[in-house]
Structure 1
Amino acid sequence: MLLAETGAPAWSWNLLADVQEMWSYPFMVNAFRAGAVVAVVSAVVGWFVVLRRQTFAAHTVSVVAFPGAAGALLLGVSAVYGYFTLCVAAALVLAALRADGDHEGSALAGTVQAFLLASGFLFTALFRGLLEGPQTILFGTFLGITSAQVTLLTVVGALVLAMLAVIGRPLLFASVDPAVAAGRGVPVRALSVGSLVLLGAATAEASQITGTLLVFALMVIPAATAQVLTARPALSLALAVLLAFAATWLGLTAAYYSPYPLGFFVTTIAFAGYLLALGRRSLREVLGRRGTAPAAVREVTA
Structure 2
Amino acid sequence: MVLADAGTAPVWSWDLLADFQAMWSYPFMVNAFRAGAVVALVSALVGWFVVLRRQTFAAHTVSTVAFPGAAGSVLLGVSAVYGYFALCVAAALVIAALRGSGDHEESALTGTVQAFLLAFGFLFVALYKGLLEGPQTILFGTFLGITSTQVTVLAGVGIGVLAVLALIGRPLLFASIDPQVAAGRGVPVRVLSVLFLVLLGAATAEASQITGTLLVFALMVIPAATAQTITARPGLSLALAVLLAFAATWLGLTAAYYSPYPLGFFVTSFAFAGYVIARGVHALHTLRGRTATPLPAKEVAA
Question: TM-score, normalized by length of structure 2?
Answer: 0.95
Give 3-state SS (helix, strand or coil) of 1:258's partner. Answer: coil
Question: Structure 2 CA distance, aligned partners of 1:45 and 1:128?
Answer: 36
* Counterpart residue identity of residue 49, structure 1: V
- Deviation readout 1:139-170 (Å, 9 max, x if unpaired): 00000000000000000000000000000000
Aligned CA distance change for structure 1 residues 263 and 159 (closer, same or farther; 3 Å): same
CA distance in 1, matches of 2:226, 2:219: 11
Identity of aligned residues (%): 80
Deviations 1:166-198 (A, max 9, x none): 000000000000000000000000000000000
1:33 match: 34
State the match for 1:44 in structure 2. 45
2:63 pairs with 1:62:
yes
> What is residue 133 of structure 2 aligned with on the other side?
132
The answer for the alignment partner of 1:281 in structure 2 is 282
**8 Å CA contact retained: 1:2, 1:11:** no
| Paired residues of 1:2 and 1:12 also in contact (CA < 8 A) | no
Conservation of the 8 A alpha-carbon contact between 1:124 and 1:130? no
- Given that 1:222 and 1:240 are in contact with CA atoms closer than 8 Å, whether structure 2 keeps it comes out as yes
CA change 1:181–1:287 in 2 (3 A) is: same
Alignment pair present for 1:231 and 2:232: yes
3-state SS of 1:260 partner: coil
Asked if the contact 2:3/2:257 (under 8 Å) is kept, the reply is: no
Conserved in 2, the CA contact under 8 Å of 1:92 and 1:196? yes
1:156-235 superposed matches below 5 A: 156-235=157-236
* CA distance in 2: counterparts of 1:136 and 1:88, whole angstroms: 21
**Residue equivalent to 2:79:** 78
Q: Which digits, 9 at most, give the CA deviation of each residue in 1:241-261, with x for residues without a partner?
A: 000010000000000001111
**1:105 Cα deviation (Å)?**
2.3
- Residue in 1 aligned with 2:258? 257
Give, in whole Å, the separation in 1 of the partners of 2:213 and 2:149. 21
RMSD: 1.6
Q: Which amino acid aligns with 2:59?
A: A
In the alignment, which residue of structure 2 is the partner of 1:9? 10
Contact in 1 for aligned 2:2/2:8 (Cα 8 Å): no
Offset from partner CA, 1:191-250 (integer Å, 9 cap, x none): 000000000000000000000010122100000000000000000000000000100000
Question: What code does the residue aligned with 1:301 have?
Answer: V
Unaligned 5+ runs, structure 2: none
Larger displacement relative to structure 2 (176-185 or 126-135): 126-135
Query: Does the 8 Å contact 1:3/1:10 carry over to 2?
Result: no
Point out where structure 1 has 5 or more consecutive residues left out of the alignment: none
Deviation at 1:98, TM superposition (A): 1.1
* Partners of 1:80 and 1:94 in 2: CA distance: 21
Instruction: State the Cα deviation string for residues 62-120 of structure 1 (Å, max 9, x = none).
Output: 00000000111222211101000000000000000018952222112212211211211
DSSP-derived class of the 2:130 partner: coil
Q: In the alignment, which residue of structure 1 is the partner of 2:123?
A: 122
Q: Which residue of 2 aligns with 1:148?
A: 149
The count of aligned residue pairs is 299
- Tell me, yes or no, if the aligned pair for 1:2 and 1:10 is still in contact at 8 Å: no
CA contact (8 A) 2:66 2:84 kept: yes
Q: Equivalent residue of 1:296, what SS?
A: coil
The whole-number CA distance in structure 1 between the counterparts of 2:102 and 2:250 is 35
CA gap of 1:90–1:291, structure 2 versus 1, over 3 A, is same
CA distance in 2, matches of 1:67, 1:252: 25
Q: Which moved more, 1:190-199 or 1:215-224?
A: 215-224
Distance in 1, matches of 2:97 and 2:3, equals: 52
Amino acid at match of 2:105: E
**Paired residue type of 2:158:** G
How far apart are the structure 2 equivalents of 1:49 and 1:34?
22
CA-CA distance at 1:268 after TM superposition: 0.6
Task: Classify the secondary structure of the residue corresponding to 2:295.
Answer: helix
Supply the distance in 2 between the matched residues of 1:257 and 1:99 (Cα, whole angstroms).
48
Aligned AA (2:86): T
For residues 102 and 65 of structure 1, the distance between their equivalents in structure 2, rounded to whole angstroms, comes to: 23
Q: Give the deviation of 1:299 after TM superposition.
A: 6.2
